[in-house]
Amino acid sequence: MERSQRIIVTVLGHDRVGIIAGVAGVLAENNVNILDISQTILQEFLVMIMIADISGSSVDLGSLKTRLAEKGRELGVQIDAQHEDAFVYMHRV
Amino acid sequence: MLGIHEILETIKMIQEENLDIRTITMGISLRDCGDADAKTACRKIRDKIARYAGRLVTVGEEIAREYGIPIVNKRIAVTPIALVAESAATGDYVYFARTMDDAAAAVGVNFIGGYTALVHKGFTGGDLRLVESIPAALQETERVCASVNVATTKAGINMDAVALMGRIIKETAARTADQNGIGCAKLVVFANAPEDNPFMAGAFHGAGEPECVINVGVSGPGVVKRAVERLSPDADMGLLAEKIKKMAFKITRMGELVGREAARRLGVPFGIVDLSLAPTPAVGDSVAEILEAMGLDRCGGPGTTAALALLNDAVKKGGAMASAYVGGLSGAFIPVSEDAGMVRAVEAGALTIEKLEAMTAVCSVGLDMIVVPGDTPAETLAAIIADEAAIGVVNNKTTAVRVIPAPGKKPGDRVEFGGLLGGAPVMPVSRFSPAGFVRRGGRIPAPIQSLGN
């Protein structure tokens, strides 16, 4: 199996100023490169998805998840990060 | 590039619809652990389990975190202990069970399967000693699961073993009477037992398996149920089957991914994905509720067997595309106590043991987690096992019986086991005695289906 080094960052919650900046800040601090951002509003909730490359990351995925979750608490939104394969495997043959 | 809706679908399946990996089960061969001295044999068993499975729980937790998918259980299956213990000059096989229990506790897994004997054609001395020790082994251990294969399509049904298992189940219930006979929840009687099943209580590491292997069991009744509910009530059977196949594909892909990743990180071969829909007592995580979402008033009513046949077949068709190696039990499970919808159906009077028996002809795996009155005679339990084995043997499929004759309980009482085992009402059993039939003993010959060469 080819090992991808990409993660999917998901942000769910009420929209407010500074969400993208906050998440991007955490990623930049840990040398994670953002490849793509898309967002939509679903039943009044902001849903933002970032695809990012962790091959140059200064921390492992577990620690990155913890830092993102902390930032999420600060911003009042839910932030998670998962390995991209969890989605690719399910939706691509 | 992945679409935002695809990503959200996966997240929703995990967060709202109980999609999880039910178990990563490491199969470990203990064939090289036999010894004339039981103490030496058990030391080898302990060392080998620690060596291979030492990192199993840590790796499982790592994968769950990185991929964001819960992995509910990390478990171990070993070579049938009757094969390993047989060379030891001892009659005390419970010592082996305690060793398994300690070894499982040491590596942090909640269940270890393989306190097992394969006796479909007859007993060796070791087989008989193991089966007779099952009640004491299940009483004295917490994590050990036992199974006995009493029939195969090739061998027929060993009715001596069937009769003995009726008595063993009764004795196991009596020895764990203070917990409603919970020992029986860890004892499975099989026909055509698979050698690579990752699900407890029937997991063991078969004689044809490699030194060590990772097998994975997925779960996702909640996901399938929601998908069926979202269809129009007028959607025909073809659309229903298509929808279930697609969901089964997605669920199974998660199992394939996690299994391969776990095997890679642990440095052992990846075995199989078991394509099973395994319910839990959690709200919405029910196979019965899928059947009800298909248009049945209650699971167990007329139409249930047909609906289940459609579901089971669609799960296999969708799942088979998603995994390179499919194995184990692979089908929809219909345990009673572990499925809130099944429990409701029993309480409503819609679901009986006889209907469950019919349902097992078209799905995986058998009469599972059914609580019967404590005074059910051993011959009646044996005859229930024989009926179930006959369905498996004639239809070339695995069937199993896991019944709990709860001591002192009567039909209508409710029994709680807790955790994933759930709780269930006591179901009435036919009062007509099969004792004369069971007492005959011997072996029901292999059916004509066995002559395939």
What pLDDT digit, counting tens, does each position of B98-147 carry? 999 999 999 999 999 999 999 999 999 999 999 999 999 999 999 999 99
B89 part of contact set with chain A, CB < 8 Å? no
* Interchain contact, A87 vs B7, CB within 8 Å: yes
Report pLDDT for A1: 45
According to DSSP, residue A41 is labeled: E
* Local confidence band at B300 (pLDDT 50, 70, 90 cut-offs): very high
B179 part of contact set with chain A, CB < 8 Å? no
What pLDDT digit, counting tens, does each position of B239-285 carry? 999 999 999 999 999 999 999 999 999 999 999 999 989 998 888 89
Residue carrying the six token digits 């006889």: B354
What pLDDT digit, counting tens, does each position of B342-356 carry? 999 999 999 999 999
* Interchain contact, A40 vs B4, CB within 8 Å: yes
Which residues between 5 and 44 in chain A have a beta carbon less than 8 angstroms from any beta carbon of chain B? 8, 10, 36, 38-40, 42
**Residue B52 burial (C-beta neighbours within 10 Å; 0-12, 13-18, 19+):** buried
Q: From the centroid of its chain, how far is CA B221?
A: 16
- Nearest-CA neighbor of B100 among B33, B164, B157? B33
Is the alpha carbon torsion for B321, B21, B221, B403 positive or negative? positive
Report pLDDT for A4: 75
Contacts of A36 in chain B (CB under 8 A): 1
* Local confidence band at A2 (pLDDT 50, 70, 90 cut-offs): low
Beta bridge partner(s), residue A34:
A52
* Average pLDDT of every residue of chain A: 91
B254 part of contact set with chain A, CB < 8 Å? yes
SS3 A43: coil
Which residues between 200 and 219 in chain B have a beta carbon less than 8 angstroms from any beta carbon of chain A? none
* Local confidence band at B97 (pLDDT 50, 70, 90 cut-offs): very high
For A86, which of B4, B67, B264 is closest by C-beta distance?
A: B67
ipTM above 0.85, yes or no: yes
Residue B14: pLDDT over 50: yes
* Interchain contact, A84 vs B253, CB within 8 Å: no
What pLDDT digit, counting tens, does each position of B147-189 carry? 999 999 999 999 999 999 999 999 999 999 999 999 999 999 9
Mean pLDDT value across residues B226-242: 96
- Nearest-CA neighbor of B79 among B120, B110, B44, B107? B44
For A90, which of B8, B65, B254 is closest by C-beta distance?
A: B254
Beta bridge partner(s), residue B154:
none
